Amino acid sequence: MQIAVNILILLDFYAMTTLHTQEELQAIISPLKLAKKRIGLVPTMGALHQGHLSLVTRSLSECDLTVVSIFVNPTQFNNTDDLAKYPRHLDRDTALLNQLSDDIIVFAPTAENIYGTEVTAQKFDFGSLGQHMEGQHRPGHFDGVATVVSLLFDAVTPDRAYFGEKDYQQLRIIETLVKIQQRPTVIVPCPIARSHQGLALSSRNERLDQKQLQQALLLSQVLKQAHQSFDSKNFQDLKNTAISAFNDAPEFELEYFEIADVESLVPTSTKEPNKKYRAFIAAHLGGVRLIDNLELN
């Protein structure tokens, strides 16, 4: 009984606290783990939106305590300008989380506290999962993602960790990382959060003006069209239609449109029975890189 009371006091004392070091975090997490409390982790780079909050809400419903990490990870950026311009709003983010629940701890470490003296990414081999699409166009990106997620898992030791399907390839990478490292953490995929018009929510959307936000709907429209035509057209026709749509929109620079089966994530032009496929897209608009994906069948 006394242990339970102490745990409740601990949770109440640290509710909606912002911590900046692993040592502070472990001082809270360790007794909770001993008391068999379920810890949820929602890793973010901040600039929170309703997509992030949907992950947090899911964690709150399934866990005793939710840790939301806010850390703009430098090792997953292969574009220094993109890193410099990435939106940072820690005060606003914590205020949003405070409105959501008291059972949240915000973990906002420095790069040095997470990485130590050498802020570099480890090297990983994820096979075909990391070789195409984002892996091809952002060299080293998944090494940086896997490194920081691994370090966050070390710091938080979560029972469950929540990731959105907007970064579907990243999600598959992290699921594989957990298997490689034999971690007990359960990875929970969460659906893509979209605006009422269909735009996938993203922190990078902040950098778009109102006109560009309307133009950005082209990504989801192209994906929806591919979904609707999945049964009637072959993959090359779907791809040609998508490319044509972007050729007619000179404000965009299309980086890729690919269709891949969800297991290997290898782009293909051949449709096979009993396989599940997703379409993946990346495009630049006004200097902002946008990505989206959609299950086709």
Q: Are residue 92 and residue 166 in the same domain, yes or no?
A: yes
Q: Which residue has the higher pLDDT, 4 or 102?
A: 102
- How many alpha carbons lie under 13 Å from residue 116 in its C-beta half-sphere? 6
Catalytic residue among 52, 132, 137, 284: 52
* pLDDT of res. 12: 59
Q: Same domain for 262 and 175?
A: no
The CATH number given to whatever domain includes residue 70 is 3.40.50.620
Kindly report the CATH number assigned to the domain that includes residue 241. Answer: 3.30.1300.10
Helices (H) and strands (E) in the chain, counts: 12, 9
Q: Which among 51, 41, 39 is positioned nearest to 7, based on CA atoms?
A: 39
pLDDT at 8: 56
| DSSP string for residues in 15-68 | TT-EE-SHHHHHHHHHHHHHTT--EEEEEE-S---HHHHHHHHHHHHH-SEEEE
Q: Is residue 103 part of a domain?
A: yes
pLDDT in tens, 194-236: 999 999 999 999 999 999 999 999 999 999 999 999 999 999 9
**What is the residue type of 223?**
L
State the total domains in the chain. 2
pLDDT digits (tens, 9 = 90+) for 37-70: 999 999 999 999 999 999 999 999 999 999 999 9
| pLDDT tens digits along 91-116 | 999 999 999 998 899 999 999 999 99
Asked if residue 258 and residue 167 are part of one domain, the reply reads no
For the segment 247-277, what is each residue's pLDDT rounded down to a tens digit? 999 999 999 999 999 999 999 999 999 999 9
What is the per-residue pLDDT for 6?
58
79 and 180 share a domain? yes
Rounded to an integer, the average pLDDT of 276-282 is 98
d(CA 251, CA 219): 13
User: Quick one: which of 210, 165, 157 has its CA closest to 181?
Assistant: 157
Shared-domain flag, residues 78 and 167: yes
Does residue 9 sit within a domain? yes
Asked if 126 and 223 sit in the same domain, the reply is: no
Same domain, 49 and 158: yes
Assigned domain for 74 exists: yes
To the nearest whole number, what is the mean pLDDT of the chain?
Answer: 94
Q: Is 52 assigned a catalytic role?
A: yes
Could you tell me if residue 44 is inside a domain?
A: yes
Query: Do 38 and 180 fall into the same domain?
Result: yes
Instruction: Answer yes or no: pTM beyond 0.85.
Output: yes
Grade residue 2 by pLDDT with cuts at 50, 70 and 90.
Answer: very low
- For residue 268, the model assigns a pLDDT of 96
Query: Could you tell me the pLDDT band of residue 78, with boundaries at 50, 70 and 90?
Result: confident
* pLDDT, position 13: 54
Residues 214 and 282 in one domain: yes
Distance CA 148, CA 223 (A): 30
Domain check: are 114 and 212 in the same one?
no
198 lies in a domain? Answer: no
Which two tokens mark 25? 């975090």
